[in-house]
Structure 1
Amino acid sequence: MMTLLMVLFIVLFAISQVDQKKFAELKNGLAVGFGSPSIAFNGGEASLMESSESNSPIDLSSGIGGTTTDATAVQNAVQANERAAASQRQAAAATEVRNYDKIKTQITAELTKQGLQDQVTYTIDERGPVVTIITTGIVFNGNEATLLTAGQHIIDGIGPAITALPNHIEVDGHTNQLTGGTGTYPSGWELSSSRASAVVRTLHTDAGITDTRLQAAGYADTKPLYPTTDPRAETLNRRVEVIILSTLPADTRALLPSASTN
């Protein structure tokens, strides 16, 4: 008993002269000696409590380690990029529409010289600007696909405004079949295709547009502007459309109609 008391006082004296690190090492060593598992690693009992006290508390309201804050920042950045991209698409569509207005002005000026400005209309859809030629008796005879003099003048007025463009040009023919048949043509398909082809041929030979930029299509009466019950259907559904195909990406082309109304 005396020996044990002496050892105890020696130990107490010793630890009063050393730092906490050595005390932790001694404590851990005694614990191991009496059969307790060691709980100190790499420097003793600078333990979980001390480690937790030395670190900043975790704010659970913002997610572990700030995960929620980081995710919100990423989401905000993505949304900002999307808004910027949408703004760029709107600006590109608006610029394209302004360029189309210049083409319209040039065509109108040329047709006004011939007194034919009322024979065409202008629209813009997701394909690009559309110059619609109403195929009345002064453009084509009924059920025929040979351009009359006035029709030739209309194409001559359109050609110079689009010749220098890099865009491909599509010409679509449309008929109505509301009254009578299609003459020597088996159906409206052949008649509408022939009229579109006549316009394409004139744009190529007279306006000098390369054939690789031109294409013709006939739709018969499958794409009317007005229902058959509308009084305008008989004259306005019978038409040829000259479309300047936009080179913009599809998602930007889709904005052209709304940009043209702003």
Structure 2
Amino acid sequence: MSSRRRRRGGGGHGEDGHDERWLVSYADMVTVLMITFIVLFAMSSVDAQKFEKLRNSLATGFGQTEVGKVDTATGTVVRAEDAGKDAEGFSELALARKEAEKLLALKAAMEKGLGAKGLARNVELTIDQRGLSVRLVGAQTFFLADRPELTARAAQVIDVVGPVIRASRLEVSVEGHAAHGVTAYPSTWELSGARAIGVLRRLVEHDGVARGKVGAVAYGSARQVTDDSTEELMERNRRVDIVILSDQPEKVRAFIPDALKAIAVERKR
């Protein structure tokens, strides 16, 4: 009878066999211990601030603790319509934000210099997809009617923004404009071109802007910002725009306005 029992338990698992199933459980236990020590080691150098954000986020997600809105975002703000885009889209947003911050820094430096010398009046600084525009507005301030020569105030303004432009090492487009009407020149094209060249020469010859970085454009009266119904409105069309051009590709520059809005919102907080 006993011999039958021993035969039924054959295959190495009976009284005379070698049962090694305990090795599986032992190996599992060793693996768990190793993972535990690895996790403990990793946690020993954890960033306390990030860990606290993670703890609150997990607690809120599982409904264990009500901590309100948890904001762990520190990168680029993505518009709702851009959610789900590929990585290239996100990199363009990040580059646009950096470009916007760079242009804002240039703008702030110019505003500080102009303000310190009382020259901010009649100078408009704006940022858009092209870059940073410095608009010299007003015939009586920067140019006399039908004349291309810079006034003393115009030269002072250019000498403030010139060093900032030179340090940026960006391309510059000097764009001349003129009001409608009869001029001493054959057309408003020549007058606006002469004004742009006068600003360009001041930037290059007096303020050290590299010759290869700057060019002049004449728009004549083709790009009016107001109508010419009054003398005051006409003065806004007698202007020169100094445009510091962004060096980013067009697909990045397209996001600059959104980046500027995001930065403005963050600065108000």
Compute the displacement of 1:228 (Å): 5.0
Mapped contact 1:167–1:247 kept (Cα < 8 A): yes
The one-letter code of the counterpart of 1:181 is: V
Deviating more after overlay: 79-88 vs 209-218: 79-88
Q: Secondary structure at the match of 2:139?
A: coil
Compute the displacement of 1:232 (Å): 6.7
Q: Secondary structure at the match of 1:164?
A: helix
Compute the displacement of 1:170 (Å): 0.6
Mapped contact 1:224–1:233 kept (Cα < 8 A): no
The one-letter code of the counterpart of 2:208 is: G
Cα separation, 1, equivalents of 2:256 and 2:199: 25
Cα separation, 1, equivalents of 2:136 and 2:83: 44
Cα separation, 1, equivalents of 2:166 and 2:144: 27
In the TM superposition, what are the counterparts of 1:146-185 in structure 2 within 5 Å?
A: 146-177=149-180, 180-182=181-183, 184-185=184-185
Asked if 1:241 is matched to 2:244, the reply is no
In the TM superposition, what are the counterparts of 1:221-240 in structure 2 within 5 Å?
A: 221-228=221-228, 233-240=233-240
Mapped contact 1:124–1:130 kept (Cα < 8 A): yes
Q: 1:124 aligns with which of 123, 127, 138?
A: 127
Q: TM-score normalized by structure 2?
A: 0.62
Compute the displacement of 1:81 (Å): 8.2
Residues 227 and 142 from structure 1, CA distance in 2 versus in 1: closer, same or farther, beyond 3 angstroms? closer
Residues 245 and 195 from structure 1, CA distance in 2 versus in 1: closer, same or farther, beyond 3 angstroms? same
Compute the displacement of 1:158 (Å): 0.7
Q: TM-score normalized by structure 1?
A: 0.64
Percent sequence identity is 31
Mapped contact 1:107–1:157 kept (Cα < 8 A): yes
Mapped contact 1:192–1:218 kept (Cα < 8 A): yes
Asked if 1:143 is matched to 2:154, the reply is no
Cα separation, 2, equivalents of 1:192 and 1:214: 17
Residues 231 and 256 from structure 1, CA distance in 2 versus in 1: closer, same or farther, beyond 3 angstroms? farther
Residues 89 and 157 from structure 1, CA distance in 2 versus in 1: closer, same or farther, beyond 3 angstroms? same
Mapped contact 2:175–2:217 kept (Cα < 8 A): yes
Residues 231 and 150 from structure 1, CA distance in 2 versus in 1: closer, same or farther, beyond 3 angstroms? closer
Compute the displacement of 1:229 (Å): 6.4
The size of the alignment, in residue pairs, is 181
Cα separation, 2, equivalents of 1:185 and 1:230: 22
Q: Which has the larger radius of gyration?
A: 1
Q: Secondary structure at the match of 1:118?
A: coil
In the TM superposition, what are the counterparts of 1:4-153 in structure 2 within 5 Å?
A: 82-153=85-156
Mapped contact 1:226–1:232 kept (Cα < 8 A): no
Residues 254 and 230 from structure 1, CA distance in 2 versus in 1: closer, same or farther, beyond 3 angstroms? farther
Cα separation, 2, equivalents of 1:133 and 1:250: 26
The one-letter code of the counterpart of 2:110 is: I
Mapped contact 1:172–1:196 kept (Cα < 8 A): yes
Q: Kindly report the root-mean-square deviation, in angstroms, between the aligned alpha carbons of the 2 structures.
A: 2.2
Q: Which residue of 1 aligns with 2:209?
A: 209
The one-letter code of the counterpart of 2:118 is: G
Cα separation, 2, equivalents of 1:227 and 1:88: 42
Compute the displacement of 1:107 (Å): 1.0
Mapped contact 2:175–2:218 kept (Cα < 8 A): yes
The one-letter code of the counterpart of 1:127 is: R
1:179-236 CA-partner distances (Å, limit 9, x unpaired):
x522x21111001111010000000011111111110001011112234569974232
Runs of at least 5 residues in structure 2 that lack an aligned partner in the other structure: 1-81, 263-269
Cα separation, 1, equivalents of 2:118 and 2:250: 37
Compute the displacement of 1:136 (Å): 2.6
Cα separation, 1, equivalents of 2:165 and 2:107: 10
Residues 87 and 228 from structure 1, CA distance in 2 versus in 1: closer, same or farther, beyond 3 angstroms? farther
Compute the displacement of 1:252 (Å): 0.8
Cα separation, 2, equivalents of 1:197 and 1:127: 21
